[in-house]
Amino acid sequence: MSSFLTSLSEKYQLYNEDEAINVIFNYFNQSSKPYDDLLENLSQLINSNNNNNNADTNLINFLVHSFLQWKNQFNKSLSTSIIDENILNNFISESLPIVCIEDFIEIFQIEKSYLINLLKSLLIYPTNSHIYKRTLNIIVKLNYQLEFQPNEILLPLILNSKDHLIDIYLDNHLQYEEYLINLLNHLYENGGKKIQDILNNEYNMKNITFNKKTLSKLAVRYWNLYGNEQNERYPNLATLQNKRTLGYLINVKYNNINDDKTMSDECWNELVGDIVQGNDDLSEYFIEILADRDDIAAVKYWMAQLDRPYYTLPAWVQKYIHIKQNSESKATPCQQIRKENSTIDYYNVPLENNEIIFIDSMPAYERLLDRLFKNNNEEILIGFDCEWKPLFNHTSTSKQRISVMQIALPNEIFLLDLLHFFHTCDSESIQQRLANRLFDNDYVTLLCYGFKTDAAMLVASYPIFDRALLSGKTLLDLSLVQNELLTANRGIFPYATINNNNVSSKDKGLSEFVRLCFGKPLNKSEQCSNWERRPLRNAQILYAATDAYCLVEIYKFLLNNLQSSDYLKAFRGRKPKKLDSTIARQIDENFQDTPNNNNNINQSQTLDDVSQISNEIKRPSQIKFVVDNMLYGLGKELRVAGCDAVILGNDDPHTDAIRYARAENRIILSRGAPYNLLRSHTVEGRCWQPPLNIPAKQQCAAVLKHFNVKILPEDIFSRCTLCNGGDFAIVDGRDMRILWCNMNNYLIKDLEPDLINYKSEMIDIDRMTLYNENVPLDLTGLTLKNYRSYEEFYVCRKCGKVYWQGTHWRRRLNRNTLLTENESIQDDNDDDNSDDGIIFYDAESTI
């Protein structure tokens, strides 16, 4: 590597951009052939990095961008020397990092038409080749997607089901997403029967082979993602989605894939009716499927239901009906009851002892509140469940919403209509009150089963539940109890075996739990019914009531059969795995779907802040940050520098950063997709993405430089790295020596005979706290080797963490300004040998 590149690399690695730019400017000012020299140096960097399998794209990009700055600043009239066209082509098509492409094009004044022809020549390579993928990424980088005809890029990717490459093409850009959906909608004109004709006649794509089933899956996937349920705008894709749903429902009914028995005939008829009613194309398609299944009774039934006379059906269906007329069954699908269901004795709510109340009015709701709050300070046991209409696609825009919430109390089971009634209630005085009582109350035990899905749906349907759900102190998830008892105490269940044989039951989940306790499974045939219809059918009401009531009965059964009630109480507040992260993810999705709320921010204040950040040197006490959880190491480094930095927890929603930013005037530091979300809801300049893939210290240096923060020696370790506290008590070393001996079971007379009569001035030795304070002290890192080495210790009053001026503190103090003077990072590993009890992490590690 040349001396120029060596010097440039050293400056750049020290994060000293100004000096690095000076190196570049001086080098090219002295060059007689700057363009040739640029290409030569780029070749050296690229070859060197390829040999090391570690391409430093950042340095290459920095060199290209700085050369462009140099050209514009000093050599505006400088014309490019004659460069071999093949060399430029090679840089573009093979070697140059794509991030540099735009600057490279501007430097060598490459025309757009030339570029497009070059890229077209590269698109002939197979779609799974490196060259093709690189070419596609260049097209996206240059925003050239619409410069190519559909048959040049998008259609080949669609027909070959290259979803990952289509996603690259779309680049999260609304214009290209709509372009894709319009193209797919066009392909599926006339039900997709003319796809081959469209390809031949409109796009000159002859003799193309493709898998129709795979293509329909791809079309439905992107319709679900980007169609936004615009049925009138994209009718062909909406019909395709409905046909695929009908195909699934047909398989449920005729191919016996409904092993869980979660869909009764009434449910099936309801769901099918919602899809085909009022749509002639779908109703005809559906009747054709039934005829193909040779179910003449179903054909006749649905002809009547859909008002489809004999003469309106396709000729082959009319012929089928004519042939089958003499053998027509008098039964109809809604009269056909599955034989296996009729022979099973299911668990049922004893209705003679329980009243089921459907709440769709304020008087009924007040009755529920009266029961929930009748005795505020007495323990109350509640069975809880939720129901919602099933969806048979995976769209991100078609949000499912909870329809019914079941609350089972002694002798009363309430079915709360969330879909049509609850949203009319005042959010603060009524909705929040219910949320807090159910999920954040010391006297309530909320019995649930497999609560994670219910929690996500609750937050999606009513975001006001989110904070109470994150508390979750009332939750007792019986699925956790079931799993543990089946492993450790299976004998508690009287029906653990079937007919005295060690045969596994076909029942699953809650139904199996009920069978284990009472010998009868739950009837789940209404689970997948249309819960949005009103009024609910009696079978639905009974199913919903039973699902919540059985939880109370299971709890009572376990309470009577376990030796101690403490076992069950230990599960209260124990959350299912990843519950908090599920709730946090849904909170973020809710926020993403809301309009930009920047109006809630004090615009004048924050705009002034932006100006100050750009032009004024700040001290750590003048700036506050909130750091996303994937930048935990950066957050701790900022605290070391004396900056007030809140770090989000692993299970906190990313959008909590917005709450902190607005409430406490903090600057958000984030990365990746969360950064894009947070920035879109934040005033410009108040959300920043630090450089990625570098150590935490370098990220910290970049943040301090970007926001013009000046660090002085008195700032270093002026905040607690664990809790962000800024208030420390200075404790005499003798107090700490006595406490250390006491905590590690050493006798004072053996290790500290001179302190036998010493009375601690700051520390309550018995309570292991500071006097008049309640936070236990944390002496992590203080050992027999070093506990006597310091005359003073510093105790964080907020969390109790004890600090001392060890080697790590001395190294940071010697650096003085903590990387703001472009310090080398070569002694990072010394942190492992620090004797001051401070632990640091890489930039993107987690708690």
Grade residue 841 by pLDDT with cuts at 50, 70 and 90.
very low
Are residues 29 and 74 in contact, defined by beta-carbon separation less than 8 angstroms?
Answer: yes
Mean pLDDT of 251-276: 83
What is the pLDDT at residue 625?
96
**55 vs 627 pLDDT, higher one:** 627
Does residue 343 register a pLDDT over 60?
A: yes
Q: Provide CATH code, domain 351-582.
A: 3.30.420.10
Q: Are strands 763-764 and 769-770 parallel, antiparallel or unpaired?
A: antiparallel
What is the pLDDT at residue 498?
65
What is the pLDDT at residue 58?
81
Percent of the chain with pLDDT over 70: 85
**693 vs 227 pLDDT, higher one:** 227
If DSSP codes are grouped into helix, strand and coil, which group holds residue 623? Answer: coil
Percent of the chain with pLDDT over 90: 53
H-helix segments, 616-719: 632-640, 656-664, 672-680, 696-706
Cα–Cα distance measured from residue 369 to residue 433, given in angstroms and rounded to the nearest whole number: 9
Phi, psi at 49, each rounded to 5°: -70, -35
Does residue 105 register a pLDDT over 70?
A: yes
At 611, list the tokens: 């100006």
Mean pLDDT of 749-755: 89
Instruction: Work out the number of other CB atoms within 10 angstroms of the CB of residue 413.
Output: 26
Mean pLDDT over each residue of the chain, to the nearest integer = 84
**β-strand partners of 405:** 386, 416
Grade residue 196 by pLDDT with cuts at 50, 70 and 90.
very high
Does residue 331 register a pLDDT over 50?
A: no
Q: Which of 339-348, 480-489, 567-576 has the lowest mean pLDDT?
A: 339-348
At 116, list the tokens: 């497009």
Does residue 503 register a pLDDT over 60?
A: no
Grade residue 813 by pLDDT with cuts at 50, 70 and 90.
low
**820 vs 748 pLDDT, higher one:** 748
**185 vs 606 pLDDT, higher one:** 185
Q: Which of 80-84, 558-562, 664-668 has the lowest mean pLDDT?
A: 80-84
Residues 524-537 pLDDT 10s: 999 999 999 999 99
Cα–Cα distance measured from residue 352 to residue 411, given in angstroms and rounded to the nearest whole number: 9
Grade residue 172 by pLDDT with cuts at 50, 70 and 90.
confident
Grade residue 805 by pLDDT with cuts at 50, 70 and 90.
confident
Instruction: Work out the number of other CB atoms within 10 angstroms of the CB of residue 182.
Output: 13
Does CATH place domain 597-715 in 1.10.10? no
**694 vs 177 pLDDT, higher one:** 177
At 545, list the tokens: 């009531």
Residues 539-564 pLDDT 10s: 999 999 999 999 999 999 999 999 78
Residues 109-139 pLDDT 10s: 899 999 999 999 999 999 999 999 999 999 9
Task: Provide the b/e sequence for 29-42 (b: ≥16 CB within 10 Å).
Answer: eeeeebbebbbebb
Q: Which helix (H) or strand (E) holds 37?
A: helix 34-51
What is the pLDDT at residue 334?
40
Q: Are strands 769-770 and 687-688 parallel, antiparallel or unpaired?
A: unpaired
Cα–Cα distance measured from residue 151 to residue 429, given in angstroms and rounded to the nearest whole number: 58
Are residues 737 and 755 in contact, defined by beta-carbon separation less than 8 angstroms?
Answer: yes
Does residue 332 register a pLDDT over 50?
A: no
Tell how far CA 721 is from the center of its chain: 27
Cα–Cα distance measured from residue 656 to residue 390, given in angstroms and rounded to the nearest whole number: 31
Grade residue 235 by pLDDT with cuts at 50, 70 and 90.
very high
Cα–Cα distance measured from residue 265 to residue 23, given in angstroms and rounded to the nearest whole number: 78
Highest mean pLDDT among 112-116, 502-506, 771-775: 112-116
**608 vs 624 pLDDT, higher one:** 624
Mean pLDDT of 819-828: 39
Mean pLDDT of 392-414: 81
What is the pLDDT at residue 818?
43
Grade residue 612 by pLDDT with cuts at 50, 70 and 90.
very low
806 contacts: CB under 8 Å, gap ≥ 6: 786, 790, 834, 835, 836, 837, 838
Phi, psi at 778, each rounded to 5°: -115, 110
Residue 223 burial class via C-beta count within 10 angstroms: exposed 0-12, middle 13-18, buried 19 and up: buried
Does residue 817 register a pLDDT over 70?
A: no
What is the pLDDT at residue 542?
95
Does residue 839 register a pLDDT over 70?
A: no
Residues 490-502 pLDDT 10s: 999 999 876 555 4
**β-strand partners of 448:** 477
Grade residue 814 by pLDDT with cuts at 50, 70 and 90.
low
Mean pLDDT of 781-794: 88
H-helix segments, 647-791: 656-664, 672-680, 696-706, 733-743, 748-751
Does residue 293 register a pLDDT over 90?
A: yes
What is the pLDDT at residue 300?
93
Residue 560 burial class via C-beta count within 10 angstroms: exposed 0-12, middle 13-18, buried 19 and up: exposed
What is the pLDDT at residue 618?
87
Mean pLDDT of 163-167: 94
> Residue 467: CA atoms inside 13 Å, Cβ hemisphere, count?
9
Cα–Cα distance measured from residue 690 to residue 170, given in angstroms and rounded to the nearest whole number: 26
If DSSP codes are grouped into helix, strand and coil, which group holds residue 742? Answer: helix
Does residue 731 register a pLDDT over 70?
A: yes
What is the pLDDT at residue 337?
38
Grade residue 207 by pLDDT with cuts at 50, 70 and 90.
confident
Mean pLDDT of 379-403: 81
Are residues 690 and 634 in contact, defined by beta-carbon separation less than 8 angstroms?
Answer: yes
**529 vs 591 pLDDT, higher one:** 529
What is the pLDDT at residue 78?
55
Q: Which of 283-287, 320-324, 388-392, 513-517 has the lowest mean pLDDT?
A: 388-392
Highest mean pLDDT among 349-353, 806-810, 829-833: 349-353
Does residue 460 register a pLDDT over 90?
A: no
What is the pLDDT at residue 79?
60
What is the pLDDT at residue 333?
47
